[in-house]
Structure 1
Amino acid sequence: MEFDFDTSSVNVLLDHGSYHVYAIDYDYQNRYMYFPRYNYHDIVRFAYPSNNTTLQTVLQSLSGPTGIAVDSGNNHIYWIDFKGDQLSRCNLDGSNVTVLSTFIYPVVIRLDFTNRWMYIVERNTEILKSRFDLSERRTIVNFTSIYVHCMNIDTEENRLYWINHDGEMKSCKDDGSDVKIILSTHIYRYYYAISIVGSYIYYGYAHQLLMVNKSQGSKPTVLHNDTSRIDSIFVFNSKGILMTIYNHL
Structure 2
Amino acid sequence: MPEIRVLGFGMGPQHVTPEVATALGECDYVLAVQKSDDDALLAARRAVCEAHGVELVVVRDPERDRSPSLDRAGYEGAVADWYAARLAAYRAVLAERGGVCGFLVWGDPSLYDGTIRLASELGVPFDVLPGVSAPQVLAARHRIVLHEVGQPVHVTTARRLRSDVAAGQRNLVVMLTAGVDLDGFDDWTIWWGANLGGTGERLVAGRVGSVAGEIRAARTAAKAEAGWVMDLFLLRGPEA
Taking structure 2 as the reference length, the TM-score comes to 0.29
Q: Which has the higher helix share?
A: 2
Q: Which of 1 and 2 has greater Rg?
A: 2
Higher strand share: 1
Q: Which has the higher contact order (CA 8 A, sep 6+)?
A: 2
Q: Give the TM-score, by structure 1 length.
A: 0.29
